[in-house]
Amino acid sequence: MAMAVAHHRESSSGSSINKHLDAGKYVRYTSEQVEALERVYAECPKPSSLRRQQLIRECPILSNIEPRQIKVWFQNRRCREKQRKESSRLQTVNRKLTAMNKLLMEENDRLQKQVSQLVCENGYMRQQLHTAPTTDASCDSVVTTPQHSLRDANNPAGLLSIAEETLAEFLSKATGTAVDWVQMPGMKPGPDSVGIFAISQSCSGVAARACGLVSLEPTKIAEILKDRPSWFRDCRSLEVFTMFPAGNGGTIELIYTQTYAPSTLAPARDFWTLRYTTSLDNGSFVVCERSLSGSGAGPNAASAAQFVRAEMLPSGYLIRPCEGGGSIIHIVDHLNLEAWSVPEVLRPLYESSKVVAQRMTIAALRYIRQIAQETSGEVVYSLGRQPAVLRTFSQRLIRGFNDAVNGFNDDGWSLINCDGAEDVIIAVNSTKNLTTSNPANSLALLGGGVLCAKASMLLQNVPPAVLVRFFEGAPFRVG
């Protein structure tokens, strides 16, 4: 019996007394042979031993291939088909999903435009009707937060009922139509974008909303986002006063938060809130939060006096696990920053949903995404460029700057030249110690204290819109 023809290269691989020459073990079948095999495969990819023998007998061009080789050929052929099919299937699904995505994004866009137009028309007509705001059906029902009396906040049962109500209101904002969300200008959804963003229109306070994909586990995300000082640059401190289980596996916390003011012209804000962390029946996690009506003081009454108490309307994070790992998060931030208390020039900063979106909502999503990417090792950083290090450093810088701008008493600031009529205010800080815990930090301190000075100017005749634009993107506080 003759073997399949082997194409030997007698002259090659001269460097070794190799054994490829003798054994003609590896042969490529001729195109006729492959054709014949393929024909059989097409009608039966898994021929029996009998069928294979029959094949060799029937087909003269296959007669010089051994039965064992035929068997192996079919095995390999099936394997190839399987691999090819899987990869083409994946590609097809991919194309389909991509196209569907495109379609949905367009539909989204169309709907967004329609919503904007309708909201606009709506507002116009409402104005024309100039009736009592009771007809405002779209937003008020949820947004006019019922005031909880102080007694509620003093017994756990009352707090639980507040928590459940907060949860419901937060969810209706996150996934329902409780608020007239309109797409954020310049933020289109897309597979490469960070997420979908919207800001509120025509409801009390300022609100922003975002949703996006993150490749982290829900619990991890909740943990990261709850630690607001780590990512929210305006957050000076967050203190958990009380913490007790809510019975259903959830947790209720009473929280006192201080934020920085964006300018020396206005006092900073603080919040006295209830935070409710729980999981839903569908496997989602929720962290939601809202202000309590009580006057829960901070740890230091003297320092708290420097703050204006602001209100957090039901807000939070809805984190839903995604099949195949990762999560979809929905973020809602809804605040009332008591804009009446700041000078008129700064008021737009406290009344712009876009500012909240940029500084809180998008910042949260960006931060969590960055962490996720670092964790998964998607991005490779060169030595000395570790994002965590950079982040810590940047955070410290901002914090220092913010502290300086705000000049809180408990940080050791005291005013000089304070006659009240000056545009420039100077304060000194004799106790501030910039020593860091990082021994590698080269910013060594000379002596035991630092003298800082800060100055501010009253901007006059600046249109509020310009000011808002200026602040929207700024990573730092401006005094």
- Contacts to a second copy from residues 212-241, by CB under 8 A: 212-213
Q: Are 195 and 365 in contact (CB under 8 A)?
A: yes
* Closer residue to a second copy (CB): 190 or 247: 190
78 binds, among a second copy, DNA, none (CB under 5 to 8 A by kind): DNA
Phi, psi for residue 149 in degrees, rounded to 5: -75, 165
133 binds, among a second copy, DNA, none (CB under 5 to 8 A by kind): none
* Closer residue to a second copy (CB): 74 or 272: 74
DSSP assigned state of 130: T
115 binds a second copy (CB under 8 A): yes
299 binds, among DNA, a second copy, none (CB under 5 to 8 A by kind): none
Task: Kindly indicate which of the ranges 94-102, 275-283, 425-433, 444-452 contains the residues binding a second copy, using the contact rule CB under 8 A.
Answer: 94-102
* Closer residue to DNA (CB): 73 or 260: 73
Q: Least distance (Å) from a second copy to the CB of residue 166?
A: 20
Q: Fill in the amino acid letter for 167.
A: L
Phi, psi for residue 176 in degrees, rounded to 5: -105, -160
Rounded CA separation 327/219 (Å): 10
Binding mask 320-359 for a second copy (x = CB under 8 A): --xxxxx-x-------------------------------
Rounded CA separation 265/456 (Å): 8
Strands 180-183 vs 307-309: parallel, antiparallel or unpaired: unpaired
Q: Are 290 and 166 in contact (CB under 8 A)?
A: yes
Contacts with DNA in 258-287 (CB under 7 A)?
none
Q: Least distance (Å) from a second copy to the CB of residue 333?
A: 18
121 binds, among DNA, a second copy, none (CB under 5 to 8 A by kind): a second copy
What is the residue-wise DSSP string for 53-81? HHHHHH-GGGTTS-HHHHHHHHHHHHHHH
103 binds a second copy (CB under 8 A): yes
10 binds DNA (CB under 7 A): no
Residue of 72, 97, 99, 466 interacting with DNA (CB under 7 A): 72
Rounded CA separation 91/94 (Å): 5
69 binds DNA (CB under 7 A): yes
Which of 62, 77, 54 has its CA nearest to residue 29? 62
Please count the other Cβ atoms lying within 10 Å of the Cβ belonging to residue 207. Answer: 27
Find the DSSP H helices in 228-332: 301-304
Contacts with DNA in 39-58 (CB under 7 A)?
46, 48-49
Task: Kindly indicate which of the ranges 110-118, 243-251, 268-276, 348-356 contains the residues binding a second copy, using the contact rule CB under 8 A.
Answer: 110-118
Task: Kindly indicate which of the ranges 17-25, 220-228, 238-246, 312-320 contains the residues binding DNA, using the contact rule CB under 7 A.
Answer: 17-25
32 binds, among a second copy, DNA, none (CB under 5 to 8 A by kind): none
Binding mask 14-33 for a second copy (x = CB under 8 A): -xx-xxx-xxxxx-------
Task: Give the max Cα distance, the chain.
Answer: 113
Q: 94, exposed or middle or buried, with CB in 10 Å at 0-12, 13-18, 19+?
A: exposed
Rounded CA separation 261/349 (Å): 10
Which of 345, 361, 288 has its CA nearest to residue 460? 345
Q: Fill in the amino acid letter for 183.
A: Q
Helix and strand counts by DSSP (H, E) for the chain: 12, 12
* Closer residue to DNA (CB): 28 or 96: 28
* Closer residue to DNA (CB): 27 or 398: 27
Contacts with DNA in 77-116 (CB under 7 A)?
77-80, 82
185 binds a second copy (CB under 8 A): no
81 binds a second copy (CB under 8 A): no
Q: What is the 3-state composition of the chain as percent helix, strand, coil, each rounded to the nearest 5?
A: 45, 20, 40
Rounded CA separation 34/62 (Å): 9
379 binds, among a second copy, DNA, none (CB under 5 to 8 A by kind): none
- Can you give the binding site for DNA, defined by CB under 7 A? 4, 6-9, 19-20, 25-29, 34, 46, 48-49, 68-69, 71-80, 82
